[in-house]
A and B are shown apart, each in its own frame.
Chain A
Amino acid sequence: MNALPWLIITPLFGAFSMPILGLLGRKVREYWAVIISGFTFAIAARIFYSIWRSNEILLYTLGDVSPIGEGVKFPIRIIWEVDLFGALLALTVAFVSFLAIVYSLGYMKEDSGLDKYYTLVLVLELGMLGIVITGDIFNFYVFIEIMSIASYVLVAFRNDTWEGIEAGIKYMFVGSLASSFILLGIALLYGQYGTLTMAYLAVKIAENPTLVSRVALAFLIGGLLFKSGAVPVHMWLSDAHPAAPSSISAMLSGLVIKVGGVYAIARIIFGIFNPGLHEYLKVFGAPSIGVNTLGWAIIFFGCLTLIVGNAMAVIQTDMKRLFAFSSVGQIGYILLGIGIGVVAYGEKAGEIALTGAVYHIVNHAVIKALLFFVAGAVIHQVGTKNLNELSGLARRMPFTTLSFLIGAAAIIGLPPLNGFASKWLIYESSAMYNPILAVIAVIGTVFSLAAYTRVLFTFLGIESERVKTAREPGKTMLIPMLLLMLVIILMGLLPWQINEKVMLPVAKMLEQLKGEYIMALVKFVGGV
């Protein structure tokens, strides 16, 4: 039996049944959310494992066995096309969402309207899972909107606070604008090529790369850079992450900006506007899309993002805002890796960069989830996130401080933890491709080191009045933190094994040197 549909069915069923089951009482509702997200995690793990074992792209057609219509030679149905990259992201999404839901049990205890909360979290998870498995560009837009709308509402979930409402409105306005850019790009592509299947679109664009396809590409990338919080358009992120409940910040920062942002950028570039195909066309003097321009544009935004994000993190006094800016900075590293992967397509540097970017997506999702859980624990127990008032927390909350120490060391990239290997791959590839980029990347890390050292000293320093009565949070909040810590440490102990066994195949499948993503569909068409 194909497990893929269950990845969508399970959270969808969970979300839709929540209002009814919620009538049975608070406990039932909470256990139901945990069971559903745990089950989703198991399905995602199974899908990832089967794709990893077979190393083949999984193609699933909704409503039929073949995506090709009767009597026509092109795909007419919605397809889901999952390669290793999508499966890895699905696994990460399901894992972090599961932990965030467990964490919410303790963290959201004092809030009201929790039936809506758990429904929305499951919808958010559903949207992200849909984005990573879909192979149809309009379906992709629909899932992006599902994810975005759920996150707008969750950011403004505490609607009795001014900052929740303010951040929610800001996020909603710019997010809708970005979504409409994406929709415009999709409309242009459809008008020009008459198909919405990503892999088939790739074939059509390569046959006839018109100006319209370039404009559409610009709209798509522009909209997705918004969603990923790249620098000129990162302002929603630094408001939305601090204002959201911490379990949601962990999902926003760990998952939403990656799945709806950098994952989608990578998928659109490598899936639809495949650099290899266009390099190949260029050799024959045929019209093609200038992938170098595209790659350098992404590198430019990546460098800008990692400098500005990390530098802004240094000067923050609000802990969650600091983490939010640090997320912006880490997105910069991922964009840098993707950009080098595009400009150095088919070369060693490009492959290493792409591996580093994929690796960093997973690592940062885990680390940032841990850091936001820490921030949540502090806010929940002490009631403030102002760093000037939080001095000396280590004495009263040793476990939380340890989690922070591990998370901060991992995000800076200290060797025995997981952040090291992924950052190292990005440094190495950027030094191979262009040393100036490596220098910029290192400067970004120096800023990030400064920012986190400052928070660490605050945690360790002399005890302030405010924290004198603080205590550790309850078990439901500590266990997700413990699990994430274990994952960070275990991944840190086996960096090159993970790189070789998982991340390198993922990057190769994403890069699709032989057009595997397209071939998986073309197989059905029978020779285009």
Chain B
Amino acid sequence: MNILYATLGLVGVYIYVSFVSLLWEGLDRKLVARMQRRMGPPLLQPFYDFLKLVSKEAIIPRDSNKLFEIAPVLALAASISLLAYTPVGFGPLFATKGDVLVFLYLLALIAFIRVIGGVSSGSPYAQIGAQREIIMLASREVSMMLGLFAILWRLAKLGAERPFSLETLYQYNIWEIGTPLTIVGTLILLIVFIFWLASEIEVGYFNIPEAETEVAEGPMAEYSGRHLALFKLSSALKEFASASLVVAIFFPWGLSGYLGMSGIGAIFVDLVFHTIKVFIVLFVSMSVFRAVTGRLRITQAVNLFWSRILPASIIGAILLAMDILGVIA
């Protein structure tokens, strides 16, 4: 029975998140347009785009192989499974000990499937884009993992029942530890995560693999019709899931506790409140970042990650570790 409920929950979350994440896309485009004194598209534009792409003819390049057609389906499947492990206002549906690894794995897998799809298209543009995506993937994940593991380790020390599950983020809050070292460390890690989020969803500085003007959409260069629609949807889901991680780590407060609610109502209120927080985080890390920064070169971006973000992440993790080990009492 439990599996049945969890499956129903996953279907519900999937439908909700696909709606909300596409809505955010529309909101984002509107906001960025306003920042540049344009009217921008209507709010529901991504839905129209999606429907139109689905109805269009999908062109399969002559030089492509089977994986070209399979990759979009795999990417969407991986994104849906990612939602089962994403904290969305409450603990992940399939929360277990150590599920953070599954989350990270699926997140990386989605990027990797995009790369495989790109490489399989047989187009040199897509290959260049795919190479860049792999380089970015290798650069950005290390600093994020270090920060995430440091925080979860710190929380596990407070006596979590399932250590290294994303569920612990709702049982304990990194801010409530309250010592100066943790607060400074967490703030540093927040900056790391904002940069990571921007690169995960490839905006602003990090719009490198897709770079329309340079390599014609990168890995997606040859995709059209329903395949492209599936990829767009899975990217939107991934965007939401990545932002959810940041929200769950740094802003995990729920609303239902204050309102004294319980049951289905509380879940719904928390979900909506979580969505609003995700929108705020995405506004900072996506819309503003996209509007005010240009693209870096791939070497600059890699350099940024290894020589700025990673040291910041190390410092943040060391501060958290110093706090728990009592180096400075």
Contacts and interface: CB of A to CB of B under 8 A. Distances in A.
Contacts of B134: 453
A414 B65 CA distance: 23
Interface string A387-412: 00000101100100100000000000
B63 A460 contact: no
Candidate in B65, B67, B119, B127 with the most chain A CB atoms within 10 angstroms: B65
Interface in A427-477: 453, 456-457, 460-463
B73 to A, nearest CB: 15
Interface string B111-146: 000001001101110010010001000000000000
Interface in B84-134: 102, 105, 116, 119-120, 122-124, 127, 130, 134
B124 A460 contact: no
A191 interface: no
A468 to B, nearest CB: 11
A273 B113 CA distance: 49
Interface in B45-94: 63-67
B122 A392 contact: yes
A460 B66 contact: no
Given A415-B105, A453-B134, A463 B66 contact: no
Given A394-B66, A394-B120, A401-B65, A462 B127 contact: yes
B68 to A, nearest CB: 9
B265 to A, nearest CB: 36
A415 B102 contact: yes
A461 B130 CA distance: 11
A24 to B, nearest CB: 43
B122 A457 contact: no
Given A394-B65, A395-B63, A398-B65, A463 B105 contact: no
A461 B102 contact: no
A439 to B, nearest CB: 13
A368 B274 CA distance: 46
Interface residues of A, number: 14
Contacts of B124: 462
Contacts of A415: 102, 105
Contacts, number: 38
Query: Interface majority SS on B: helix, strand, loop or mixed?
Result: helix
A301 to B, nearest CB: 29
Contacts of A395: 63-66, 122
Given A415-B102, A415-B105, A453-B134, A461 B64 contact: no
Interface residues of B, number: 16
Given A392-B63, A398-B65, A401-B65, A460 B119 contact: yes
Interface in A204-236: none
A394 B63 contact: no
Task: Give the secondary structure class of A's interface.
Answer: helix
A461 B119 contact: yes
A447 to B, nearest CB: 13
Given A394-B65, A453-B134, A460 B102 contact: no
Interface string B21-36: 0000000000000000
A460 B116 contact: yes
Name, among A398, A453, A457, A463, the residue most crowded by chain B CB atoms within 10 Å (CB to CB): A457
A457 to B, nearest CB: 6
B165 to A, nearest CB: 16
A453 to B, nearest CB: 7
B63 A463 contact: yes
Q: Which of A392, A401, A456, A460: most chain B CB closer than 10 A?
A: A460
Nearest to B109: A414
Given A392-B122, A394-B120, A415-B105, A461 B66 contact: no
Contact of A462 (B63, B66, B102, B105): B63
Contacts of B105: 414-415
A462 to B, nearest CB: 5
Given A415-B105, A453-B134, A462 B122 contact: yes
A461 B117 CA distance: 10
A401 to B, nearest CB: 7
Contacts of B116: 456, 460
A394 B130 CA distance: 17
Contacts of A462: 63, 122-124, 127
A463 B122 contact: yes
Contacts of B120: 394, 460
Contact of B67 (A394, A414, A453): A394
Contacts of B102: 415
Nearest to B102: A415
A493 to B, nearest CB: 15
Nearest to A450: B138
Contacts of B119: 457, 460-461
Nearest to A399: B66
Contacts of B67: 394, 401, 460
B209 to A, nearest CB: 15
A338 B120 CA distance: 41
Interface in B185-226: none
A456 B130 CA distance: 13
Nearest to A463: B63
A308 to B, nearest CB: 22
B36 to A, nearest CB: 38
23 contacts: A392-B63, A394-B65, A394-B66, A394-B67, A394-B120, A395-B64, A395-B66, A395-B122, A398-B65, A398-B66, A401-B65, A415-B105, A453-B134, A457-B130, A460-B65, A460-B67, A460-B119, A461-B119, A461-B122, A461-B127, A462-B63, A462-B124, A462-B127
Nearest first, the 8 closest Cβ-Cβ pairs linking A and B are: A394-B65, A395-B65, A460-B119, A460-B120, A462-B122, A398-B66, A457-B119, A463-B63
Interface of A: 392, 394-395, 398, 401, 414-415, 453, 456-457, 460-463
Given A394-B67, A457-B130, 15 more contacts: A392-B122, A395-B65, A398-B65, A398-B66, A415-B105, A453-B134, A456-B116, A457-B119, A460-B120, A461-B119, A461-B127, A462-B63, A462-B127, A463-B63, A463-B122
